[in-house]
Amino acid sequence: MKNKILAFIIIILLTSGLKAQEVVIKTEYPRVVSVGEQFTISWTINTGGGEFTAPPFTGFYKLMGPHTSYSSSTQIINGKISQETSYTYTYYLQSIEPGKYVIGPASIKVKGKEYQSDSIYIEVVGTPSGQNARRETEKPEKEVSTAEPSGDLFVRLIPGRTELYAGEPMVVSLKIYSRINISGLQEIKYPDFSGFIREDLETPPLTSLERENVKGVIYGTGIIQQILLFPQITGEITINPVEVTALIQQRIGEPDPFFGDFFARYTNVPRVLATLPVKIKVKPLPEGKPDDFSGVVGKISVSASINKDTVNVNDAINLKITLSGSGNLKFASAPLLNLSPDIEIYDPKIIDNFTSTASGTTGKKTFEYVLIPRHHGDFILPSITYSYFNPASKQYEKLTTKEFRFHAVRTTDQAGPATVFSGVSREEVKYLGKDIRFINSVHGTIIRPDKLLISKRGFPYIYLLGLTLFLIVIFVRREQVRRSADLVRVRNRKAGKVASRRLSSASKCLKTDNTDKFYEELLKALWGYLSDKLAIPQSQLTRNVVVEKLKEKEISTEQIEKLLEIIDRCEFARFAPASQPAEAENLYNSAVKFIRDLENKLG
């Protein structure tokens, strides 16, 4: 009887500590299958007791299902109770005809409320005729191939465009295609990109391959690196091949006649792959280039402002000119100013604020001028013209700022009109008429020795106090240098701030309905935060490594599954045209909550 009472009390304590959780439906399925291929679709739900309804499998033949599985676990860590429950409904299907198919969302009704999953997009490709591709694992070691993309493993350098104007930005993507098991990339050798200015774009680490239809053959594909190029010469430019050394898994020995591949051993064999040379046609800019042409190729706008409209003679006034837009703004020249000779002008301070993405370089470039009026009176800053080439309209376009006026006031200590001398150094502003001083005729004061600080009785204590403070400052400074040298700890401390900035960028994309960019920025924030917080190098940042590190940090399985779900939904939504803004906002809130919880947990 006592045992029953004790068990009843434990059950009450466990159930009282559980919190109501939001119903989440995860879907697993292949995005590309071949005709006649058998595959599975699974819906996993983190709750039970509901009524599950599968969608109609239009275009596919249902072989079996649903096959239902159940799992549940309860953990008590530091007095905190967490429970995980999941029901999985699996269907076995077979593709019938080639095409692109959409399977509607599945639904489950829990306590009178209905929840739905995302829609499913599957492409069915036909089996290519005469396909007798031999296994690439039988090729000799270190063989370099630049043949047309075929076989079981190859790489391609894909340009965003093959014809463009000089100075116009272009993105090229290094992509790998594989039908065999590869364990990683060992080395990548890029050419010198002669004739281009190169800038590497931030590319997420390649942790998994996506299935893709290539001329009727299904490959696992992934982007290795994206590069932004600015052509500097005209004519046909050839981009030499990129060499990639991939590690493929090769079986050692023959399979066992009784157990097959169960006890087979594998080794990593390096295979050197090379892309085909890529030819880019760079067209010269049209004739009729304006005299004030800035060298910008793209789409920009210009604005100008001054900080005040009244200034004293020989005082400074700031003129700010801002270029904003997209294109090769990094190479924009300074505007030409046509000012009165009574205004002294200094070289501008240039402030760049750019972001390089797959769509090119966007942002602002600001020129801040310091102007010094040397005479009193009214001055006019004429409107500034700025010309650039717009590749969309294939024409030179001219921008114009408004005209500014300001008044220079004669100061009371200005004896007469100042004279401007040529050849004066402009490293600092000098007030003409004030650089000559009269000799001071006032007698100096003699200080008695007994009034000096060194003769005071408390001077030794002041000296010791200053010496102590000096030693403390040296110790603190050395400690700061030592801590800053530990890059791992520095990245760990700043992981939250860096992730916050990236999430802010994702939030801006969400508000502007730029969903593709939103999912890309959200994934960058998550992967970057995990890399910094868990001290994982970018080359080793994979799902399995992240899960192991989180388990070592005693992060609950529920949070780990939530993270993997966010990543999967983001990666799917980047290629799903039916993504909804509400879903994107939910993903954003989930990512923010996960980072905040992990930050509170790990400190």
Token pair of 255, please?
A: 């399979």
| Nearest residue to 103 (alpha-carbon basis) of 119, 125, 123 | 119
In eight-state DSSP terms, residue 514 is -
In a domain, 369, yes or no: yes
What is the rounded CA–CA span in Å between residue 239 and residue 281?
Answer: 11
Neighbours of 531 (CB within 10 A): 20
- Are 141 and 277 in the same domain? yes
CATH number of the structural domain spanning residue 274? 2.60.40
Question: What pLDDT was estimated at residue 225?
Answer: 92
Confidence of residue 336 (pLDDT cuts 50, 70, 90): confident
The residue ranges of DSSP E strands in 3-117, in sequence order, are: 25-28, 32-34, 38-45, 51-53, 60-77, 80-95, 99-103, 107-110, 113-116
- For residue 439, the SS3 value is coil
- Are 555 and 583 in the same domain? yes
Give the sign of the dihedral formed by CA 56, CA 60, CA 61, CA 66: negative
Residue 17 has pLDDT above 80, yes or no: no
What is the rounded CA–CA span in Å between residue 345 and residue 239?
Answer: 44
Under a CB-based contact definition with an 8 Å cutoff, are residues 229 and 197 in contact? yes
In a domain, 246, yes or no: yes
Q: How many Å separate Cα 285 from the centre of its chain? A: 32
Question: What pLDDT was estimated at residue 129?
Answer: 38
- Are 254 and 317 in the same domain? no
Tell me the residue type at 273: L
- In this structure, of 23-37, 205-219, 510-524, the range with the lowest mean pLDDT score is 510-524
Confidence of residue 236 (pLDDT cuts 50, 70, 90): very high
| Nearest residue to 54 (alpha-carbon basis) of 122, 108, 121 | 108
533 vs 53, which has greater pLDDT?
53
**pTM higher than 0.95 for the full model?**
no
In a domain, 430, yes or no: no
What is the rounded CA–CA span in Å between residue 295 and residue 197?
Answer: 15
In angstroms, the first-to-last Cα distance of the chain is 46
In a domain, 207, yes or no: yes
**Per residue in 550-578, is it b (16+ CB within 10 Å) or e — as a string?**
beeeebbeebebbbebbbebbbbbbebee
Under a CB-based contact definition with an 8 Å cutoff, are residues 268 and 138 in contact? no
How confident is the model over 416-441, as a mean pLDDT? 49
Residue 390 has pLDDT above 50, yes or no: yes
What is the rounded CA–CA span in Å between residue 562 and residue 564?
Answer: 6
Q: Peptide bond before 66: cis, by omega within 30 degrees of 0?
A: yes
What is the rounded CA–CA span in Å between residue 241 and residue 275?
Answer: 5
- Are 235 and 160 in the same domain? yes
| Nearest residue to 280 (alpha-carbon basis) of 234, 228, 326, 242 | 234
- For residue 99, the SS3 value is strand
Q: Which of 242, 265, 283 is where one domain is finished?
A: 283
Compute and round to an integer the Cα radius of gyration of the chain. 34
What is the rounded CA–CA span in Å between residue 339 and residue 226?
Answer: 45
Q: How many Å separate Cα 370 from the centre of its chain? A: 36
Write the burial class of residue 527 (CB in 10 Å: 0-12 exposed, 13-18 middle, 19+ buried).
buried
Token pair of 486, please?
A: 């530990």
310-312/404-409 β-pairing: parallel
Residue 230 has pLDDT above 60, yes or no: yes
- In this structure, of 108-117, 172-181, 491-500, the range with the lowest mean pLDDT score is 491-500
Confidence of residue 502 (pLDDT cuts 50, 70, 90): confident
Q: What angle do CA 546, 550, 556 make, to 5 degrees?
A: 130
Q: Which of 409, 438, 465 is where one domain is finished?
A: 409
CATH number of the structural domain spanning residue 347? 2.60.40.740
In a domain, 454, yes or no: no
- Are 39 and 149 in the same domain? no
pLDDT mean across residues, the chain: 78
Place of tokens 């043949």: 147
Percent of the chain residues past pLDDT 90, beyond the cut: 11
173 vs 252, which has greater pLDDT?
173
- Are 105 and 182 in the same domain? no
Residue 146 has pLDDT above 70, yes or no: no
Q: How many Å separate Cα 416 from the centre of its chain? A: 60
Under a CB-based contact definition with an 8 Å cutoff, are residues 488 and 472 in contact? no
Helix, strand, coil distribution of the chain in percent, nearest 5: 25, 40, 35
User: Could you tell me which residues are beta bridge partners of residue 161?
Assistant: none
| Nearest residue to 565 (alpha-carbon basis) of 84, 44, 50 | 44
- Are 140 and 277 in the same domain? yes
Residues 108-124: pLDDT tens digits? 888 888 888 888 888 88
- In this structure, of 107-111, 297-301, 367-371, 550-554, the range with the lowest mean pLDDT score is 550-554
Residue 375 has pLDDT above 70, yes or no: yes
Give me the half-sphere count of Cα atoms (radius 13 Å) on the Cβ side of residue 131.
Answer: 12
- Are 34 and 79 in the same domain? yes
Question: What pLDDT was estimated at residue 279?
Answer: 92
What is the rounded CA–CA span in Å between residue 105 and residue 26?
Answer: 11
In eight-state DSSP terms, residue 450 is G
Residue 180 has pLDDT above 80, yes or no: yes
Question: What pLDDT was estimated at residue 419?
Answer: 45
Residue 16 has pLDDT above 50, yes or no: no
In a domain, 5, yes or no: no
| Nearest residue to 598 (alpha-carbon basis) of 484, 508, 453, 492 | 492
Token pair of 216, please?
A: 């009727």
- In this structure, of 202-216, 329-343, 428-442, the range with the lowest mean pLDDT score is 428-442
Q: Can you list the alpha helix ranges (DSSP code H) found in 18-67?
A: none
- Are 162 and 275 in the same domain? yes
Question: What pLDDT was estimated at residue 415?
Answer: 47
Residue 147 has pLDDT above 50, yes or no: no
Residue 172 has pLDDT above 90, yes or no: yes
* Angle between helical axes of 515-533 and 487-511 (0-180°, round to 10): 160
Q: Which of 283, 307, 339 is where one domain is finished?
A: 283
Q: Can you list the alpha helix ranges (DSSP code H) found in 100-180?
A: none
How confident is the model over 328-334, as a mean pLDDT? 86
Confidence of residue 332 (pLDDT cuts 50, 70, 90): confident
Confidence of residue 430 (pLDDT cuts 50, 70, 90): very low
How confident is the model over 391-400, as a mean pLDDT? 90
In a domain, 169, yes or no: yes
Q: Domain tally for the chain?
A: 4
Structural domain that includes position 566: 487-602
- Are 119 and 140 in the same domain? no
Token pair of 211, please?
A: 């299935």
Element (H, E) at 164: strand 163-165
Neighbours of 545 (CB within 10 A): 16
243-252/210-214 β-pairing: unpaired
Residue 133 has pLDDT above 50, yes or no: no
CATH number of the structural domain spanning residue 110? 2.60.120.570
Element (H, E) at 551: helix 543-552
What is the rounded CA–CA span in Å between residue 469 and residue 571?
Answer: 56
Under a CB-based contact definition with an 8 Å cutoff, are residues 300 and 399 in contact? yes
In a domain, 446, yes or no: no
Under a CB-based contact definition with an 8 Å cutoff, are residues 384 and 404 in contact? no
- Are 233 and 317 in the same domain? no
CATH number of the structural domain spanning residue 554? 1.20.120
- Are 306 and 255 in the same domain? no
What is the rounded CA–CA span in Å between residue 357 and residue 349?
Answer: 26
Question: What pLDDT was estimated at residue 438?
Answer: 55
Largest CA distance in the chain: 113
Percent of the chain residues past pLDDT 70, beyond the cut: 78
